């Protein structure tokens, strides 16, 4: 299975045509019956689009899958929900538009947890995604379809969204690279929001270089998103094609707090091994205190559930799902059609958000959470004054059995301990597999300060070279 950067070189040299590459990809899609990574495939559309792609684009000939909360004109955007089962987008999200302008070919929409609420991809109305390495395990979520399709080679690269770990954790569980950029680096225009102040559009690839190529292509400036930060950073225009193995002089921080966490033995073993590999390569390991990490999960859920309850209030089950009812009382009618359109997990999140934002509780929960959010950002700022990056495991466990945790929301939330904090602070993070072997393994997460995405990619690429 070729990497994307290798495929692009073959296409640009004339040794392989974009049409041939697309058909190679399509020939393997019958295997998705076992994985369920796609909600919508648009093979005929892809075959038409590939005829007129930009030959000078950075993604020339790349076959790309979009998470199904990202709008693409003419295709359904279901958010893996019954509520939007038949909703067809009338425009392209900015990230999809940028992909096409750079010569990429969108092949379809990828499965996810309903409205991006979940960490296992088991809450999808269209059925769970299976882990591509071991079909009895979850692929992680909410971008499980994107991670699984990338691992299987159903796409060259895939787009996901990360609100609290939804790119990095499935990247870890499926053993692919998952890159969550600085908040606002990629426009959110055309992406169905879970939580507006957290959501980040990012990339999956089978190596760091591929994920970075896609990220850079999507990061173009746009007037459509007020939270978009400028991508006009000189370093973002630089490729990381060269093999960067020299990490000498880099300072990588480890969190002293981490030793108190309940890490699975396999995760701790991989983490300790990674630190030894980095030290041998000349990296200086520095210990850092993260004062407010214990509050990260509670703070995160207090804020995102509040934002989610507001965002999802637009979906009434009448306009979108076409649900009908004979109930005459308007209040009961609205209750019935919304209940029919949303799953239990989504309803639980909406109710929690409404509870937190109620007039007598907002100050107790939401307002305090905003204060802690600022403190967490300050913790990161302090650590990065003496470190080029932070290294932690991406998840506290290896992927778990399908069906084993979906009825235990608290346990699922606790699994987000190492991923949610960076979304609170808006900094970039990238998951890199800790081995090149095709086995279930613990991914490692490199974190950087805001707008350090390029430098973070270089560090991750160097680590990747050491563990291959």
Q: Output the six-digit token pair for 383.
A: 């650590």
Q: What is the 3-state secondary structure (H, E, C) of the chain?
A: CCCHHHHHHHHHHCCCCHHHHHHHHHCCHHHHHHHCCEEEECHHHHHHHHHHCCCCCCCCCCEEEEECCECCCCCECCCCCHHHCCCECCCCCHHHHHHHHCCCEEEEEECCCHHHCCCCCCCCCCCCCCCCCCCCECCCCCCHHHHHHHHHCCCCEEEEEECCCCCHHHHHHHCCEEEECCCCCCCCCCECCCCCCCCEEEEEECCHHHHHHHHHHHCCCCCCCCCCCCCCCHHHHCCCCCCCCCCCCCEEEEEHHHHHCCCCHHHHHHHHHHHHHHHHCCCEEEEECCCCHHHHHHHHHHHHHHHHHHHHHHCCCCCCCCCCCCCCCHHHHHHHHHHHHCCHHHHHHHHHHHHHCCCCCCHHHHHHHHHHHHHHHHHHHHHHCCCCEEEEECCCCCCCECCCCCCCHHHHHHCCCCCHHHHHHCCCEEEECCCCCCCCCCCEEEECCCCCHHHHHHHHHHHHHHHC
pLDDT tens digits in sequence order for the chain, 468 residues long: 999 999 999 999 999 999 999 999 999 999 999 999 999 999 999 999 999 999 999 999 999 999 999 999 999 999 999 999 999 999 999 999 999 999 999 999 999 999 999 999 999 999 999 999 999 999 999 999 999 999 999 999 999 999 999 999 999 999 999 999 999 999 999 999 999 999 999 999 999 999 999 999 999 998 999 999 987 665 666 667 655 567 989 999 999 988 888 899 999 999 999 999 999 999 999 999 999 999 999 999 999 999 999 999 888 767 776 777 777 787 887 778 778 889 989 999 999 999 999 988 899 999 999 999 999 999 999 999 999 999 999 999 999 999 998 877 777 887 898 999 999 999 999 999 999 999 999 999 999 999 999 999 999 999 999 998
What is the value of pTM for the model shown?
0.95
What's the rounded Cα separation, in Å, for the pair 67 and 95? 11
Q: Catalytic residues, which ones?
A: 67, 142, 166
What's the rounded Cα separation, in Å, for the pair 294 and 278? 27
What's the rounded Cα separation, in Å, for the pair 303 and 362? 10
Is residue 96 within 8 A of residue 137, CB to CB? The reply is no
As to burial, measured by CB atoms within 10 angstroms (0-12 exposed, 13-18 middle, 19+ buried), residue 248 is exposed
Question: Residue-wise over 41-56: b if at least 16 C-beta within 10 A, else e?
Answer: bbeebbeebbeebeee
pLDDT at 242: 54
Q: Would residue 289 be called left, alpha or beta, if left means φ above 0 and alpha means ψ between -120 and 50 degrees?
A: beta
Give the CA radius of gyration of the chain. 21
What's the rounded Cα separation, in Å, for the pair 252 and 279? 9
Domains of the chain: 1-468 (3.90.1300.10)
pLDDT at 190: 98
β-partners of residue 67 are 110
Q: Which of 415, 447, 412 is nearest to 432 (CA)?
A: 447
pLDDT at 232: 67
Phi then psi for residue 404, to 5 deg, are -80, -25
Is residue 93 within 8 A of residue 190, CB to CB? The reply is yes
């Amino acid at each position: 299975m070729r990497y994307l950067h290798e495929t692009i070189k073959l296409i640009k040299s004339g040794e392989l045509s974009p049409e041939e590459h697309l058909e190679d990809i399509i020939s393997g899609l019958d295997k998705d019956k076992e994985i369920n990574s796609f909600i919508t495939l648009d093979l005929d559309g892809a075959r038409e689009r590939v005829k007129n792609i930009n030959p000078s684009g950075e993604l020339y000939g790349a076959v790309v899958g979009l998470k199904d909360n990202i709008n693409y004109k003419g295709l359904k955007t279901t958010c893996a929900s019954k509520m939007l089962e038949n909703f067809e987008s009338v425009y392209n999200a900015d990230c999809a538009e940028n992909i096409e302008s750079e010569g990429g070919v969108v092949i379809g929409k990828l499965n996810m947890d309903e409205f991006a609420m979940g960490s296992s991809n088991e809450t999808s109305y269209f059925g769970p995604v299976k882990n591509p390495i071991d079909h009895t395990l979850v692929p992680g979520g909410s971008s499980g379809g994107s991670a699984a399709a990338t691992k299987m080679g159903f796409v060259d690269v895939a787009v996901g969204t990360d609100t609290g770990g939804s790119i990095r954790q499935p990247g870890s569980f499926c053993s692919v690279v998952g890159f969550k950029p600085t908040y606002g680096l990629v426009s959110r225009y055309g992406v169905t929001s879970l939580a507006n102040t957290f959501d980040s559009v990012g990339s999956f690839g089978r190596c760091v270089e591929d994920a970075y190529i896609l990220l850079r292509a999507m990061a173009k400036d746009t007037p459509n998103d007020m939270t978009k930060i400028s991508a006009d950073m000189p370093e973002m225009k630089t490729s990381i094609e060269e093999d960067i193995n020299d990490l000498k002089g880099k300072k990588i921080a480890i969190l002293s707090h981490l030793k108190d966490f309940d890490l699975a033995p396999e995760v701790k073993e991989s983490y300790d091994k990674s630190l030894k590999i980095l030290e041998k390569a000349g990296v200086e390991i520095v210990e850092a205190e993260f004062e407010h990490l214990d509050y990260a999960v509670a703070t995160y859920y207090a804020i995102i559930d509040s934002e989610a309850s507001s965002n999802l209030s637009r979906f009434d089950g009448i306009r979108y799902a076409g649900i009908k009812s004979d109930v005459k009382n308007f209040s009961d009618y609205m209750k019935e059609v919304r209940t029919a359109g949303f799953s239990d997990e989504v309803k639980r999140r909406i109710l929690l958000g409404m509870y937190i934002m109620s007039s007598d509780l907002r100050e107790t929960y939401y307002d305090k959470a905003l204060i802690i959010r600022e403190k967490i950002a300050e913790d990161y700022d302090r650590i990065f004054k003496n470190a080029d990056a932070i290294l932690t495991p991406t998840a506290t466990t290896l992927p778990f059995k399908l069906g084993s945790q979906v009825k235990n929301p608290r346990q699922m939330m606790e699994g987000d301990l190492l991923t949610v904090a960076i979304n609170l602070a808006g900094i970039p993070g990238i998951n890199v597999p800790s081995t090149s072997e095709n086995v279930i393994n613990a991914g490692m997460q490199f974190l950087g300060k805001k707008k350090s995405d390029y430098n973070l990619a270089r560090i991750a690429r160097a680590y990747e070279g050491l563990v291959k």
